[in-house]
């Protein structure tokens, strides 16, 4: 059976230019009608396009498809299919992680009103923390570490450590990521990374509209300390904040103050 370029394009949901492009790549070839010299495509071209569309649906590139349909060896085709299978498995895992992150963010949003300004004793997950220090940016190891963390957004969250010393509060801006997510991402440990192990801690949620290097107004930190004093809680000299989400001009942060 003979097909015009318009018919074969309609059959596969392609443009005429796409058909011409496949022909220029020698994926298919056309014939000429001896009576009117019009271009037409035969059943071989149709069957080849069926194979091409099948591979395209599996995310193979045109270069990969050309290699597959021109391959004369079964082993070469198996190797190509195995390689694509591994790539797709990796993409599936990445998509699963993205879905998990969306679920986590939905859950945090749903809990905001119940946790804002409320205090609970909860188990803080094991967390890795990286400072945001302009001086450190001159060091290649820090720059590489910060770059690898930046690729893990939103799992890597804006954060700050608050160091308590004789009534003084020192805030140190940075980023944090759960040890579980860091392990999945295969983030390397080095001297710039501080680990906060899992522990029982005072937990609450606070809001802030302050600049990046300040994060939480110290009056909020003092509220946490006052609550702990009123309830006779013994806590460490460091408080960790973890960014949740930004709504309008307000940032929401989890606050964790480990018990001792």
CATH at 218 = 3.20.80.10
Residue-level pLDDT at 64: 92
| Dihedral, CA of residue 189, residue 194, residue 195 and residue 201, to nearest 10 | -160
Q: Is 186 helix (H, G, I), strand (E, B) or coil?
A: coil
141 and 218 both lie in a single domain: yes
Query: Could you tell me the CA-to-CA distances from 204 to 121, 134, 160 in Å, in that order?
Result: 9, 29, 15
Split at pLDDT 50, 70, 90, the class of 13 is: very high
CATH number reported for the structural domain that contains residue 12 in this entry:
1.10.1660.10
Mean pLDDT computed over 36-50:
90
Residue-level pLDDT at 18: 94
The β-bridge relationship of strands 157-165 and 127-131 is unpaired
Check whether 167 has a pLDDT greater than 90: no
| Dihedral, CA of residue 74, residue 80, residue 83 and residue 88, to nearest 10 | -110
96 and 162 both lie in a single domain: no
Mean pLDDT computed over 55-81:
90
Summarised one tens digit per residue, pLDDT across range 215-237 is 566 788 889 999 999 999 999 99
Which of 86, 107, 128 terminates a domain? The answer is 107
Mean pLDDT computed over 42-64:
92
127 and 183 both lie in a single domain: yes
Mean pLDDT computed over 58-76:
90
Which of 55, 82, 107 terminates a domain? The answer is 107
Residue-level pLDDT at 209: 72
Domain that holds residue 88: 74-107
Sheet holding 168-178, edge to edge: 120-124, 199-208, 250-258, 238-247, 157-165, 168-178, 127-131, 193-196
Question: How would DSSP label each residue in 93-108?
Answer: HHHHHHHHHHHHHHHH
48 and 83 both lie in a single domain: no
Our count of domains for the chain comes to: 3
């Amino acid at each position: 059976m003979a097909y015009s370029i318009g018919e074969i394009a309609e059959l596969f949901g392609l443009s005429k230019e796409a058909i011409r492009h496949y022909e220029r790549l020698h994926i298919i070839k056309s014939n000429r009608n001896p009576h009117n010299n019009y271009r037409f495509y035969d059943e071989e071209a149709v069957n080849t396009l069926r194979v091409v569309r099948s591979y395209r649906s599996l995310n193979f590139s045109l270069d990969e498809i050309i290699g597959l349909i021109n391959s004369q060896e079964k082993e070469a085709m198996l190797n190509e299919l195995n390689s694509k299978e591994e790539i797709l498995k990796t993409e599936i895992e990445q998509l699963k992680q993205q879905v998990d992150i969306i679920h986590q963010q939905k859950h945090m949003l749903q809990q905001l009103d119940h946790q804002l300004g409320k205090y609970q004793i909860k188990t803080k997950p094991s967390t890795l923390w990286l400072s945001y220090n302009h001086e450190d940016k001159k060091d290649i190891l820090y720059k590489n570490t910060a770059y690898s963390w930046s690729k893990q957004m939103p799992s890597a969250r804006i954060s700050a450590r608050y160091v308590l010393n004789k009534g003084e509060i020192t805030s140190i801006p940075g980023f944090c990521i759960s040890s579980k997510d860091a392990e999945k991402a295969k983030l390397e440990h080095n001297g710039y990374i501080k680990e906060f192990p899992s522990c029982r801690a005072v937990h609450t949620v606070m809001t802030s509209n302050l600049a990046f290097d300040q994060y939480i107004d110290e009056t909020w930190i003092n509220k946490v300390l006052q609550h702990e004093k009123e309830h006779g809680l013994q806590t460490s000299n460091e408080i960790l904040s973890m960014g949740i989400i930004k709504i309008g001009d307000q940032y929401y942060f989890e606050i964790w103050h480990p018990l001792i």
